[in-house]
Amino acid sequence: MRNKTYILLLAIVNCLVSGNAIAQNTKQSTTKKYDVAAFLYPAYANDDPRLRPFWPAGNGEWETVTTMQQRFPGHYWNRKPVWGPVNEADPTIMDMEINAATKHGVNVFIFDWYWYDGRPFMETTLDHGFLKADNVNKMKFYLMWANHDVLNLWDTRLNKYNENNVIWTGRVSRDEFEKICKRNIEKYFKLPQYYKIDGKPVFMIYDVPQLIAGLGGVEQTVAALKWFKEETKRAGFPGLELQLTMWSQNTNYSGFDGGKVKNPENAFVKKLGFTSATHYQFVHFMNPNDDYMNILEKVKKEWARIDTAYQLTYYPHVSIGWDNSPRTGQSPVMKNNTPANFAKALQMAKDYVDAHPKQAPLITINSWNEWTETSYLEPDNVNGYGYLDAVKKVFGGDK
């Protein structure tokens, strides 16, 4: 009798253990991790002397934010950062921001990265702030090469004249291109915090026509990008995830002869060797002067179009809003982009990722801190932590 009782008890225990294991496995299978990546504009720094020609007060583009009412008295735009005009090149400040980001589900920063006049520009936020933060291992990062020209737009003392003078060009020669690539491979790609897909460092390029113009043509650009991929492999990586900033100027290049191919845009992107794409801002493919919910319907159609028109991996992008008036005094304005509607956009992006299980679960957001374009996650006097809470609501976050 005792043996039968023991066997019965053992069977019950095994059932309980098995049930717990099944429940645990079910929980693990239904809990999916997403890579929520916010673009970070590194102009809010105090210790970068190369920023002073544009913002002489010494705190970067916070100067544009904090002088808005002074320059345009009574203007409707009167945003103030909850954290204050902080120095994001300070590792203590970045430590705080990394904690806030990861707590709310943002686990990747995409740093806007610049190279002008033969040297890097705005690197201090990445080098002195992010990479020296005590908690840097909580996040990943990758680079978006913002290789556009620098005009008078950043300098509010000059941009009112609409002269659009080119201060620095984003074009680089082949020698300069190789210098940039080798430097980024050694300095950034090899860091454990650098974001990779299947072991391949992700590198995003913003302005394809500028790249082609600097390198001397489409064929020369194809050769340079092929060299970049091979150089990345020589550094010990399985390859390079070359990411395109998806917008019309980067896919409709007038100097490309598509011949009789059915889809010349896809043929052009494929020829250059881009393997993935995302957007940087909704304004790159639609009129921002519209209701946010109308914009989301157009965004959904654009994602579907890209899915069928291009032979590359598209990672869904969500912009928070658009209002460039802090720089210029007037701007098209995205309307009704409340945190609640932003959460709907994030859910749309999440659904897209879930419907594409073979690709990395990457979603990009504009942005962490584009204050002067009014598209930022950082808390302010208008919405508080509303946009960050929206990310956490959809994707979860650290405890």
| Number of structural domains found in the chain | 1
Confirm whether 13 is domain-assigned: no
Mean pLDDT of 86-93: 98
- Structure tokens of 373? 């374009």
**pLDDT surpasses 70 at 68:** yes
Q: How much is the pLDDT for 8?
A: 42
pLDDT in tens, 358-387: 999 999 999 999 999 999 999 999 999 999
pLDDT in tens, 26-37: 333 347 899 999
Confirm whether 356 is domain-assigned: yes
| Least reliable range by pLDDT among 159-173, 184-198, 217-231 | 159-173
Q: How much is the pLDDT for 258?
A: 62
Confirm whether 49 is domain-assigned: yes
Q: How much is the pLDDT for 9?
A: 38
Confirm whether 20 is domain-assigned: no
d(CA 369, CA 377): 6
Supply the range of the domain harboring residue 220: 35-395
- Per the DSSP assignment, residues forming a β-bridge with 364 are 37, 317
Confirm whether 204 is domain-assigned: yes
Select from 80, 93, 111, 100 the least CA-distant residue to 47: 93
Q: Mind giving me the DSSP string for 118-136?
A: TEEES-HIIIIIITTSTTG
pLDDT in tens, 243-292: 999 999 999 877 776 666 678 899 999 999 999 999 999 999 999 999 99
d(CA 329, CA 110): 28
Q: How much is the pLDDT for 158?
A: 79
Confirm whether 17 is domain-assigned: no
Q: How much is the pLDDT for 189?
A: 98
Q: Regarding predicted confidence, which is higher, 375 or 12? A: 375
d(CA 198, CA 65): 40
Mean pLDDT of 117-145: 97
Confirm whether 14 is domain-assigned: no
Select from 246, 250, 389 the least CA-distant residue to 315: 246
Q: What is the DSSP letter of 188?
A: I
Confirm whether 11 is domain-assigned: no
d(CA 172, CA 132): 30
**pLDDT surpasses 50 at 18:** no
Select from 89, 312, 349 the least CA-distant residue to 202: 312
Give me the CATH number covering residue 97: 3.20.20.80
